[in-house]
Structure 1
Amino acid sequence: MSFPCIMFNISQLTQTDGTFLVSREPIENFTWDDLKGSTFLGQRAGGMPQMVGEYVLKQNGIDPQNDLEELIQNIDFGNIPTAFASGTGDFVQLFEPQATQFEQDGIGYIIDSFGTQSGNIPYTVYMAKRSFMNSNEEIIEKFTRAIYRAQQWVQENPASVVAESISDFFEDTPLETIEQVVERYRDQGSYAETPLLQEDAWYLLQEIMEEAGELPREIPYENLVNTTIANKIMNE
């Protein structure tokens, strides 16, 4: 099958979902059954975080439509933390650094990770058109090489050093919090260690999308993933 104008996946950056399950009250010996009968403040319907969230719930025996008292999906992404802080929901699905900040402020408690629960998927991936790749091979290689070197650097350096390097992007977040977030994401394997998008992760992503009713049909790995460039850079 030919895909003349398709965007090809060329370089992976993150390999897990980045959200965490945060409860309003501390829960000792948490099990996913604790969500039954609760109000769950999730992410936007059809978005990647929500698809992963519902997949994880189902994998842990929770039917989002029948086991929860209420599943809230109509709050704008940027307002979800505010909604929870204002009293909406018993549980919420949050990204960092908001999840850690809520825990530090006593607003909520991180009790599980959707990233570790769902497994490795191509969560953040750089893509390029075939036409651009054909006429800009050197640029693509330089870009992928830079990504790979950065990935190695993140793995090799202390969390404090990594946090310092990105602190300008989180002006309202204390450096200590950023360091804790970096360590948490790295410990659970959220940062991809190479730019190569793995085949099993590709099909897990499609399984999650199909489960959410958002995948019209399965696309073979080799049709939309270019591994040549990543493998070349990794073997230099």
Structure 2
Amino acid sequence: MQRFHLTATGYNLNYLPEYIALRHGFFREQGLDVTVTIPKPWDGVLDDLADGTADLALGGIWVPSMYRDRVKNYTVFAQIANRSPLALVKRGPREGFTLTDVVGSTVLMKSGGGASVGLFFKMLLRENGIDPKSVDYVQDLDGVMLGNLFQGGMGDYFVTDNLSAQAMAERNSKVSVAMEMVSEGDVPWSVYYRETVPLTPKQLDAQKRFLVALNKGIDWVLQHDAESFRNELADLFPDVPLDVVVGVTNTFRREGMWTSTSVPRKGFERWQRGLADARFVKEPYPYEAIVDEAPTAAQ
């Protein structure tokens, strides 16, 4: 059994196919002993890659894009999440909400796990003809703190992950989920990457086998209604009401959160435009500058 270690920026529902592949032995079927760590702070994933502790990092593609040609180059080999897992929470009922309602408001956005929340929400505003500068933001605090402050009266809206948003609305009848961003189009939200160095045949083979197992995990999740594996979801997310986990999982299944390990070109190009508009990159990178299709193409 070959050791294969992952370093991840967090523990999230949008990583579910990886967790299923681990629990169901799909990686072991490929001769891989997969282990996972989540460093704190999250940017410790880069240290894990640098010192050879990890074979791959799992996180946002904005990191390899932002670092390229400035600090260190990273290559993306595959994705796991094909859509944004965020949601927008508002006070009162969601009926009649349109995105233009946020103009002139204060939006709280968690940032403890990186910049992707603010990047995506502001990109979404621009795509809908809304100037992000027409909104005020509070985004330098972690999600739990901002969630408590929002429910206590701070701000008008709160952007967080869909699971936390639905759990909040379940507990608090004074708020509702106004928008689930999983329905807002393709974007390579969570990807696997490593430092840009030549791979040995053994490393490339291990990555190919890893992706075979991961694709099997994706297929398994897509083929099984979340109701049929409630017990597993309860084990994986014990701190969230189970009906909420089941509901969000089925929403993700239905709305294209998980498709395959291949990074979609149109989604990549969309995200690059968003990163450029946010000044994270000088101009959008071409697909081939960031993504290596070899491991996924070989399956």
Structure-2-length-normalised TM-score: 0.69
1:21 to 75, 80, 88: 88
**Corresponding residue of 1:100:** 166
CA–CA separation in structure 1 for the residues paired with 2:165 and 2:125: 19
The one-letter code matched in structure 2 to 1:25 is G
Is 1:48 matched up with 2:116?
yes
**Corresponding residue of 1:115:** 182
**Corresponding residue of 1:128:** 194
| Alpha-carbon offset, residue 49 of structure 1 | 1.3
CA shift in 2, pair 1:164/1:76, >3 Å: same
| Alpha-carbon offset, residue 130 of structure 1 | 4.4
**Corresponding residue of 1:174:** 241
The one-letter code matched in structure 1 to 2:240 is T
The answer to which of 84-93 and 56-65 deviates more is 56-65
**Corresponding residue of 1:184:** 251
**Secondary structure, counterpart of 1:112 in structure 2:** strand
Q: Which runs of 4+ in 1 moved over 6 A?
A: none
| Alpha-carbon offset, residue 99 of structure 1 | 0.9
**Corresponding residue of 2:129:** 61
CA shift in 2, pair 1:130/1:211, >3 Å: closer
**Corresponding residue of 1:143:** 210
1:222 to 270, 279, 288: 288
**Secondary structure, counterpart of 1:10 in structure 2:** strand
Is 1:212 matched up with 2:278?
yes
**Corresponding residue of 1:12:** 79
| Alpha-carbon offset, residue 177 of structure 1 | 1.6
| Alpha-carbon offset, residue 92 of structure 1 | 0.9
The one-letter code matched in structure 1 to 2:151 is A
User: C-alpha offsets along residues 13-61 of structure 1, whole Å, 9 cap, x if unaligned?
Assistant: 0011111111111142222222223221123397111111011122223
Q: Percent identity?
A: 22
Structure 2: give runs of 5+ residues left out of the alignment.
1-68
Is the contact between residue 12 and residue 195 of structure 1 (CA under 8 Å) also seen in structure 2? yes
CA shift in 2, pair 1:162/1:11, >3 Å: farther
Is the contact between residue 120 and residue 274 of structure 2 (CA under 8 Å) also seen in structure 1? yes
Is the contact between residue 65 and residue 71 of structure 1 (CA under 8 Å) also seen in structure 2? no
Tell me the C-alpha RMSD between the 2 structures: 2.2
Is the contact between residue 33 and residue 62 of structure 1 (CA under 8 Å) also seen in structure 2? yes
**Secondary structure, counterpart of 2:240 in structure 1:** coil
The one-letter code matched in structure 1 to 2:131 is D
Is the contact between residue 226 and residue 249 of structure 2 (CA under 8 Å) also seen in structure 1? yes
CA–CA separation in structure 2 for the residues paired with 1:35 and 1:53: 11
The answer to which of 146-155 and 93-102 deviates more is 93-102
| Count of residues in correspondence between the two structures | 226
| Alpha-carbon offset, residue 216 of structure 1 | 2.5
| Alpha-carbon offset, residue 132 of structure 1 | 6.7
**Corresponding residue of 1:34:** 101
Is the contact between residue 94 and residue 177 of structure 2 (CA under 8 Å) also seen in structure 1? no
| Alpha-carbon offset, residue 194 of structure 1 | 0.9
Structure 1: give runs of 5+ residues left out of the alignment.
none
The one-letter code matched in structure 2 to 1:170 is F
CA–CA separation in structure 2 for the residues paired with 1:58 and 1:211: 9
Is the contact between residue 80 and residue 190 of structure 2 (CA under 8 Å) also seen in structure 1? yes
The one-letter code matched in structure 2 to 1:180 is G
Is 1:79 matched up with 2:145?
yes
User: C-alpha offsets along residues 102-122 of structure 1, whole Å, 9 cap, x if unaligned?
Assistant: 2212242112123323x2111
Structure-1-length-normalised TM-score: 0.86
CA–CA separation in structure 2 for the residues paired with 1:53 and 1:207: 13
**Secondary structure, counterpart of 2:220 in structure 1:** helix
The one-letter code matched in structure 2 to 1:97 is L
The one-letter code matched in structure 2 to 1:93 is V
